[in-house]
Structure 1
Amino acid sequence: MEDKDEELVRLKLAIRSASSPFPVLATTTVFSTYFSSSGATTFPSPPIFHLASTNSSLHPSSRRASTNPPHPSSRRASTNPPHPSSHRTSTSRQNVEGPLRPSQTRKSPMRILRPGKSETIPQPYPWATTRRAKVRSVSDLLSKGILKITGDVQCKRCEKRYQIEYNLQEKFTEVNTFITVNMDNMHDRAPQIWQSPILPNCRFCEQNNCVKPLLGKKRRINWLFLFLGQMLGCCKLAELKYFCKHTKSHRTGAKDRVLYLTYLGLLKQLDS
């Protein structure tokens, strides 16, 4: 009976050793049965296994990572050429650093006249010049003895036509002071009093705020008279653009902006 048990234990150990990934190289007492004097059965300590070097004793399956060559797909990043899209940044930088196109100079607001038109015109008024939309300075007018500025007007009610006269020195000081005081609040736009000016009263029918200035052709507009009476707002947008065109001023935008530039342009001419 004892022989059968010992053979069974040896068989189990042999099977377990064969299925283990770490083969047994040397052991002490395999697993024998000892009997004491009292007849009790005692079991020895488990067998001690001694493993050899890792490179030689490991199961062949444990060396797959080191023995098998790397898969070709693992070398794609190094063997495959870079995609053409990766050169876009460098190519664009080369284009930027290359020769640039010649810069185009911004065109100045040149006065383009139609065929048959001239920049010089017959002098329409004593206080005007022979150039379009150009008036003489206040100092020049005073030195010439021109103290009064007149203009043609018409009543919108009785339709009477007559002339209004302004004192050059007084009216210029009034308008100049108004612009100096309110310049910061205008924000490059004509105030409401310029857009809808207060018109003079009619001396015939005595109707209030009903006398409008007579403009006529663009080249014969009495710019100084309209400036002193603060009636430039009676001009149409096309007439204001005509002034800005021939004075090299910016003439695009709403009427309040073009009207503002017209006042400043005339002030510059008179104060020169």
Structure 2
Amino acid sequence: MENKRKDQPSSASTNYHHRRNVKPKPNPEPQDPEIRELQTLPLFPTGPLFQSSPSSNHSQDPELSSPPQPPPAPAFVDDLDIVITPPFPWATDRPAKVHTLQYLKQNKILTIKGDVQCGSCRKKFEMEFDLKKKATEHGKFLKDHRASMHSRCPKEWMNPNPIACKFCGQEKSVKPVIGSWKDHSINWLFLWLGEFIGFCTLEDLRYFCKYNKLHRTAAKDRFVFNAYTEIFKQLIRVD
């Protein structure tokens, strides 16, 4: 009988590898270099917001354990995972969430619009912002000043100046139409681009923090800071 070489693979092994249905992984879609640059800004910590406390050192010996306790009362279930109808093309189906810059660019959503109203003549009109230009400006500002903010927004964000009315000409009389947090209709990306978030009430900001799992007990300048940084993270996140 003819001896087989030891280094020659067996037919069973060869057939096994031929039978495997291995598909090559698709190449990821090339990303816009300007969006990739924003994503590399060293702005935010990567660790979790809340750290769990270390476990206690009580003995787990069943003989030393306490007697059985009655079952706890049903806990209140928060509605953090609700799905809504997106109020704007740049908003997702989750409250207080916006699409990424990559998604908006791919879907040709490059201009963000919102309603404003004059406090003098009471007329409403629409404003718009260039998404790419404003996102780059805000990203650079956060990169240059975040360390000195100490998690509190600058006064320009906290107390934004109203603008002039294009109808009656009254200076500093036009403010954004905030919308209703109860109806999930606040135009967060428009407010972010126009630096209008400071016009929001504490209830508006607590709503934003609730659905983004941020602290809901803080001073308003910290709420506003959290809203600005969180929206920027949503824009540059990688899906």
Change (3 A) 1:97 1:157: closer
Unaligned runs of 5+ in 1: 1-95, 103-109
Contact 2:179 2:187 survives alignment (8 Å): no
**Per-residue deviation at 1:97?**
8.4
Matched letter for residue 59 of structure 2:
P
SS at match of 2:209: helix
Change (3 A) 1:99 1:194: same
Matched, 1:255 2:220: yes
Contact 2:81 2:94 survives alignment (8 Å): no
Matched, 1:149 2:105: no
Matched letter for residue 149 of structure 2:
M
Change (3 A) 1:209 1:97: closer
Aligned counterpart for 2:198 among listed residues 233, 241, 244: 233
SS at match of 1:220: coil
**Per-residue deviation at 1:198?**
2.1
Partner residue, 1:128: 91
Partner residue, 1:33: none
Instruction: Say which one has the larger Rg.
Output: 1
CA RMSD of aligned residues (A): 2.3
**Per-residue deviation at 1:171?**
1.1
SS at match of 2:96: coil
How many residue pairs end up in the alignment? 167
**Per-residue deviation at 1:206?**
1.8
**Per-residue deviation at 1:146?**
0.7
Partner residue, 2:31: none
Partner residue, 1:222: 187
Unaligned runs of 5+ in 2: 1-55, 67-75
**Per-residue deviation at 1:200?**
2.5
Contact 2:165 2:173 survives alignment (8 Å): yes
- When normalised by structure 2's length, the TM-score is 0.65
Q: Which has the higher helix share?
A: 1
- When normalised by structure 1's length, the TM-score is 0.57
What per-residue deviation string (whole Å, max 9, x for no partner) do you get for residues 106-157 of structure 1?
A: xxxx9813xxx97111110000011111100112101110111000110111
**Per-residue deviation at 1:263?**
0.8
Using the TM superposition, name which of 197-206 and 183-192 deviates more.
Answer: 197-206
Contact 1:201 1:208 survives alignment (8 Å): yes
Higher relative contact order (CA 8 A, sep 6+): 2
Matched letter for residue 186 of structure 2:
I
Matched, 1:200 2:160: no
What per-residue deviation string (whole Å, max 9, x for no partner) do you get for residues 35-94 of structure 1?
A: xxxxxxxxxxxxxxxxxxxxxxxxxxxxxxxxxxxxxxxxxxxxxxxxxxxxxxxxxxxx
Contact 1:111 1:246 survives alignment (8 Å): no
Query: How far apart, in 2, do the equivalents of 1:211 and 1:111 lie?
Result: 40
Change (3 A) 1:99 1:163: same
Partner residue, 2:123: 160
Partner residue, 1:242: 207
**Per-residue deviation at 1:99?**
2.7
SS at match of 2:116: strand
Change (3 A) 1:232 1:111: farther
Matched, 1:180 2:146: no
Partner residue, 2:59: 99
Contact 1:111 1:245 survives alignment (8 Å): no
**Per-residue deviation at 1:209?**
2.2
SS at match of 1:212: strand
Query: How far apart, in 2, do the equivalents of 1:235 and 1:163 lie?
Result: 18
Matched, 1:211 2:174: yes
Query: How far apart, in 2, do the equivalents of 1:137 and 1:228 lie?
Result: 14
Query: How far apart, in 2, do the equivalents of 1:179 and 1:201 lie?
Result: 27
